[in-house]
Structure formats: C-alpha cells, structure tokens
Amino acid sequence: MANDSRPKLVIAISSTALFDMSESHTIFESEGVEAYADYQRAHEDDVLEPGEAFPLVTKLLRINEKLGGEPRVEVILLSRNSADTGLRVFNSIAHHGLKISRAAFSGGHSPYRYVSAFACHLFLSTHADDVRCALDSGMAAATLLPSHNEPVDSDELRFAFDGDAVLFSDASERIFKERGLSAFTENEQRAAREPLDPGPFKNFLQALHGLQAEFPIGECPIRTALVTARAAPAHERVVRTLRQWNIRIDESLFLGGLSKGDFLHSFGADVFFDDQQIHCTSAREYVAAGHVPHGVANEVANEVANEVANDAATKRGPSKDA
C-alpha cells in the first residue's frame, strides 16, 4: 500500500508515434475514411512496425523492471482511431510485449483532451495540431520528429531539454527577439537572483527528478541535460532557478549560440525537446527531436497552423489517423 504514494511518471503517446502507420494513413488520404476503416479491420492481425517513439517507450517501461513493486512508469495510448479500427494497435502492443493497458480512442477527434484526465506529465505525437492544443491547455507536449540516425543502444534513458520556452517561460527569449542580445544579457544579469517562471516542461522535469530520486546514487537509469543557447553571464539565473525549484539536472551545456546537434550526439540523448524548428533540425541529424511549438518563436507559425487546421477540418472532417 505504501507504494501508492510514491512518485509516478505518466506519458501519453499517439499511435502514430508508437507505430509506423504510414501505409494506412496513405490510404486514408487517398481513399477516405471508409477505405481506411476497411483496411485496418482487414489487417488487424498484421503486426505494426515500431515507430519513432517505440525505443523511448521500451526504455521507459523497462524502468519498472528495475524498480520492482507497483509500476512507477505508465504509458497511455491516445489515438484518433475508433476502438474498432484501433484493435490492430492493441494487437501490435501485445505482440511486442509492451505493458500498455490504458488507452483513449477518440473516433476521429483530437485525443489531446484526455492528457489531463489521465494525469499525464507529457504527450508525444506526430500530429502537430494535437500538440499545440495540449500546450495551449498547459500540458507538456511535443511533435516527435524522426532522427536520421539509429536509436541510442543503451539501457540508460537520456532526456535533453532546451531552456527558454521549454523548461522556463519565454519571457527572457521575448526580450532577445524584440531587443537583441545586449538587452537580453543585461536583463538576465539584473534579474539573476529572480527565478524564471516555469515553462511547459517544468512539471515533466520535476516528475523525472522524483523518479531519479528512487534509485541509489550511481545506479539511476535516467539522465537529464539542459542544452541551451545561453552563455555566461546569463547562466546564473538558470542555475538559481533550478536550485529554487529543488530540481537536479545532471548535465548543463551553455553553448552561446553554437549548433546543438554535435553536443546532443556526445550526450547520447534519446530525445531532445526544443521550441525552435532550426534546433530540432540540427538535433535530428543525431537524435530524435521533440518540437515544442510554444512561445515567441512560434507565435506566427501557430496562428497560421491554426487557420489551416480549421479550414481543413471544415472541408473534410476529422482525421482518423493519429
């Protein structure tokens, strides 16, 4: 019974992030909903191949084996399929031996609204509109972008995070965008002892930190890194903010504007979360990247995407594939 109060990490994954569903999605796009549904039912016993999030999910669930007792990590499946057309997904989960038992099939509508109902700390999807909706609702979410390299072959699970607009709010980054580097640096020096406001991934990092604390020193299979374009003297405010939050981050890289890809490769990240597409593009040469469409760097892009999504939904109705 004591296990019930121990920290738990809950992550929601879309079916298209967990498995490669490109073939069925092509049928949906070219032939429509009915042809898609017929195809999924006809192939419900055909096992789906792993998708971009599959290696990450495998490592996450393996943590339960290391800790023993009640599961401390749970993965929730979220899908735009109906339960009928989604049967193939659950059959594939069983075939691959993934211990995933909870799911929401939203029948063509966005499943993001179930992220908070399941008390998830993170939502990963290949559907950018769902990710934006989740972020707008105050939840950590990212659009998973495939790496051009093979996944890291290690039992250790390594998460890398950008700072501003991801772990922290975008307030300082907004100063940089609007007034330049000198104004940004001056502001950060002046406010060095004032903690940064939380960003969308603060609670996820906190949950990871709680899980890390369950392992003896030197035996934790989870490692975290901050990989930021900040440099001294703007580093001090970051360090003091994490200290005030009582969150330990294992490695901190203050790159002063250098390209992040090589450093993420050296760290051996399983996934890197960043708000800027340019950094995600650099990262995915080596590791999987999670684009976080949040903050000042994404304001114009998000407005355009919302208009396009609303127009598309009006014209053709909701997508079945997610």
User: What are the residue numbers of the active site?
Assistant: 162
Q: What is the DSSP string of 152-175?
A: P-SSSEEEEE-TBTTTB-SHHHHH
Distances (CA, A) of 272 to 81, 154, 207, 251, 284: 28, 16, 17, 13, 9
Instruction: Mention every residue, 6+ apart, whose C-beta is less than 8 A from residue 288.
Output: 52, 56, 144, 145, 146, 147, 151, 269, 270, 271, 272
Strand runs labelled E in 80-211: 103-105, 122-125, 141-145, 157-161
Per-residue DSSP letters for 231-274?
-TTTHHHHHHHHHHHT---SEEEE-TT--SHHHHHHHT-SEEEE
CB 63 within 8 A of CB 221: yes
Q: Is 69 left (phi over 0), alpha (psi -120 to 50) or beta?
A: left
Alpha-carbon distances, residue 13 vs 139, 249, 278 (angstroms): 14, 24, 24
d(CA 308, CA 302): 10
Please choose, from the candidates 102, 140, 114, 128, the residue with its C-alpha nearest in 3D space to the C-alpha of residue 16. 128
Return the closest-CA partner of residue 115 out of 145, 135, 89, 98: 135
Residues across the chain:
322
CB atoms within 10 A of CB 186: 14
